[in-house]
Amino acid sequence: MKVGVLALQGAVEPHAEALRDLGATPAPVRTPAQLAGVDALVVPGGESTTMSKLLDTSGLAGPLSDRLSSGMPAFGTCAGMIVLAREVLDGRADQRSYGAIDIAVRRNAFGRQVDSFEADLDVAGLEDSFHGVFIRAPFVEAVGPHVEVLAAVDGHPVLCRSGPVLVAAFHPELTPDRRVHRLFLEAGA
């Protein structure tokens, strides 16, 4: 399986390494042609408003919307969660979100950079806890009826799945634990 990693900003190589470790073939995606050549897409963390602008200037905004609308599997981490959400509660007026998963998300919900933290998460479907790295992390404030909450922190969803779309408020690529990436690959990627 060829899994694209949106390579406009963020932790591209750590996601690629996780995918390789699980037997997938990662490919950087910077152009519409590269997007057309992948079976699924990882949208990494970064800065969500900047990512929105880069999607426009790269020409990827429309093709990405089309692929997501047609059911392409996608995995968004941190800013990627924001990009894939139905609604961004505190985003800029020109910030794009793709509605690939029926969630309303709040940017930087846990606080500023200095409020970044790590936590052991109880994840539905995983036997042992998963160590999550949260960096200026968002959280989910509302989920649609077909969204499964897989993990939460202080009552706020931080890992959600709906069909072939998985989103995480944290950075699983920054740990050696590949189980969250495996959840994505097993769910349809």
**Between residues 1 and 162, the one the model is more confident about:** 162
Contact of 84 with 51, CB cutoff 8 Å:
no
More confident residue, 187 or 108: 187
Amino acid in the structure at residue 126:
L
Residue 112, domain CATH: 3.40.50.880
Count: domains in the chain: 1
Q: Distance from CA of residue 152 to its chain's centroid? A: 15
Gyration radius of the chain's alpha carbons: 15
* Among 21, 20, 22, 26, CA closest to 5: 26
CB under 8 A, 24+ apart: contacts of 111-120 = 111/136, 112/136, 119/153
Q: Does pLDDT of 135 surpass 90?
A: no
Task: From 115, 162, 118, 158, select the one nearest 138 (Cα to Cα).
Answer: 158
Residues labelled as active-site residues: 78, 171, 173
Q: What span, in angstroms and rounded, lies between the C-alpha atoms of 74 and 81?
A: 10
pTM of the model: 0.94
The pLDDT, as a whole number, for residue 48 is 82
Tokens 């905004």 found at: 61
Which residues are paired to 183 by β-bridges? Answer: none
Quote the domain boundaries for residue 102: 2-186
Model pLDDT, residue 174: 95
